[in-house]
Structure 1
Amino acid sequence: MHEPVLATGRQFEITSGTARAVVTEVGAALRAFEVDGKPYVETYGADRLPPGGAGAVLVPWPNRVADGRWVLDGEPQQLPLTEPARHNAIHGLLRHTPWTVVEHAESTVVLQAMVAAQPGWPVPLLTSIGYSVGDGGLTVTHTMENLGSRSTPFGVGVHPYPRAGDAATDECTLRLSASTLLPVDAERMVPVRPPRALEGDELDFRTGRPLAGLLLDTAFGGAAPAPGDEHVRHALLGPDGHGVELWADPVFRWVQVYTPDDFPGRGRAVAIEPMTCPPNALNTGTDLLTLHPGETWMAHWGLTPR
């Protein structure tokens, strides 16, 4: 008799010194990351689907597409409505797809998947994600390759829930590099106006603000490296000033912050989701990337204990 297949498929552990991460076969999601036994992302059981999209890889677009509709070269496209209550397509096409392992060493695992040409997405893409742990924490590498005969727009995002060790979420301070906020429809969560500048209001997290009492499902833009830095940096810090930093290449100009109160075994949690483009970018064109036939794109982000 066969053993039941876990909801997230096989589990791939990587280690380096006291750093450890676990990546799932289904969705290539980050299910755990810890250093010295201290957790730096929220985790969940391998026998269940990732709660709230935890650790998900969001390709070939992050966040939402209103009504699942967009246009490529004048041709209307209709994506499946994977967020039916809001009549949106959400978070790409590979969250529930088994990925193929192409490399698995002690401290590194690389997985690959095909975005097949299909209704709503006519251009085939090959994508990979590599996770590596070391003294500096966790480094994640994304690639996208256009296998088709026409150019296509695309975006990339990820959905980690960083955790400042054992500190409760409401005891933590959030710091973002973002300088704008994208107003959205409160019911459908798609943009209704251009981004507005953040200048010292309660949602300006550039110098850090406590999370206690804040309910967020908010897209922030204008994320950019500080002068002299090469990376965008966000951070979640506990009351002792220690926690975790999420760094990303400058192409990740956007970050979605989501604060659910029902994360299993944890209650309040916070997702800090680096994205190359905002919600509904396939329609607005804002910060969309373009991949030409035969072209490959690469970008990085990571988590560093602080």
Structure 2
Amino acid sequence: MRDPAGQNLVLAHGPYRAEVVTVGAGLRSLSYDGRPLLAGYPAGQVCPDYRGWVLMPWPNRVGDGAYEFGGRRLRLPLTEPERGNALHGLAGWVEWTLAHHDDTHASLRLALVPQAGYPFPLDLAVDYELTDTGLRVTLAATNAGPTAAPYGTGHHPYFTFDRPVDELTLQIPATTWCPMDERGLARPAQPVAGTAYDFREGRLVGDAVIDHPFGGLTDRVVTITDPEGRAVTLTLDDGFGWVHVFTSDTHDPPRRSLAVEPTTCPPDAFRTGVDLVVLEPGETHRASFTVAGGCVLSR
């Protein structure tokens, strides 16, 4: 029987083990010494809650699916119809081509064809590599068309410590955050100073309800720590300027995993233009991040 997530690609290096799937080039699981770092999903199951998704050619939402680019008015299919949004790009429910797989590395490729609402051909690439320092994920897109193309990207990992997120300490080196409207669309960025969204020094998540983008990063490392001092770190390269944090309040069960999503832009960038990447013909955009776990921080 065919797995709805496609081919399952196992990677292993030292204490790390990961599973990558060919549908959506997604990350199904990641563990350290047998302990899950990510809330994944088992073989034979359709990916729930966008877990481990690659978000291309835009992350998060485009309000009404409608935007203007290059003097054209374009409309994307509404994949979140209850809110009237186009959600998480066009590459998630597509079978990617496996370009390479060995014990520690998987490379997947997708030729994204021009289509309604996004008439721009892109050559997409995702690489996963396990090293001594953790799992490195690289997302790349090359404009294969004759005109400029709007673009953004991100990844959607849900971190887990097998306990409520209320008990976790979160540190985000972000100086700004975006309020969100009832449709999950970002309003203009505001300083985190003096708000409930200031996690620069690291503090308990507690009962905070978070589904917001954070920007103005002064450092590239986001850290999540449990009460025993075990930590997971997400280290971004220069290609990512934002992280979107979600406390999983609408999931079943709620608040058992914490999404920390590296993104190149906040939600609705196709309409607002905030940190929107414009890919010129033949141009490639590349962004990477690394997930490391298993360490115990000094207390």
Is this a same-fold pair by TM over 0.5? yes
* One-letter identity of the residue aligned with 2:147: R
* Counterpart in the other structure of 1:228: none
Distance in 2 between residues matched to 1:218 and 1:91, nearest whole Å: 15
1:262–1:268 contact (8 Å) kept in structure 2:
no
* Counterpart in the other structure of 1:295: 283
* Counterpart in the other structure of 1:188: 183
* Counterpart in the other structure of 2:44: 47
1:163–1:244 contact (8 Å) kept in structure 2:
no
Change (3 A) 1:44 1:267: farther
Question: Could you tell me how far 1:297 is from its partner in structure 2?
Answer: 1.9
Distance in 2 between residues matched to 1:303 and 1:167, nearest whole Å: 19
* One-letter identity of the residue aligned with 1:284: T
Deviations along 1:117-139, one digit per CA (max 9) or x if unpaired, are: 00101110011100011211110
1:139 counterpart (136, 140, 164): 136
2:122 counterpart (98, 122, 125): 125
Distance in 2 between residues matched to 1:180 and 1:247, nearest whole Å: 18
2:160–2:256 contact (8 Å) kept in structure 1:
no
* Counterpart in the other structure of 1:66: 63
2:164–2:255 contact (8 Å) kept in structure 1:
no
Is 2:206 the counterpart of 1:212? yes
* Counterpart in the other structure of 2:240: 252
* One-letter identity of the residue aligned with 1:241: G
* Counterpart in the other structure of 1:170: 166
1:24 counterpart (15, 21, 26): 21
What runs of 5+ residues in structure 2 fail to find an aligned partner?
Answer: none
* One-letter identity of the residue aligned with 2:174: A
Deviations along 1:23-67, one digit per CA (max 9) or x if unpaired, are: 111111111111211211112112222221110000000011010
Percent identity reads 39
Deviations along 1:204-255, one digit per CA (max 9) or x if unpaired, are: 0111121221221111121242xxxxxx111110112221000111231111
Change (3 A) 1:289 1:137: same
Is 2:167 the counterpart of 1:179? no
Q: Secondary structure at the match of 1:85?
A: coil
Distance in 2 between residues matched to 1:191 and 1:212, nearest whole Å: 23
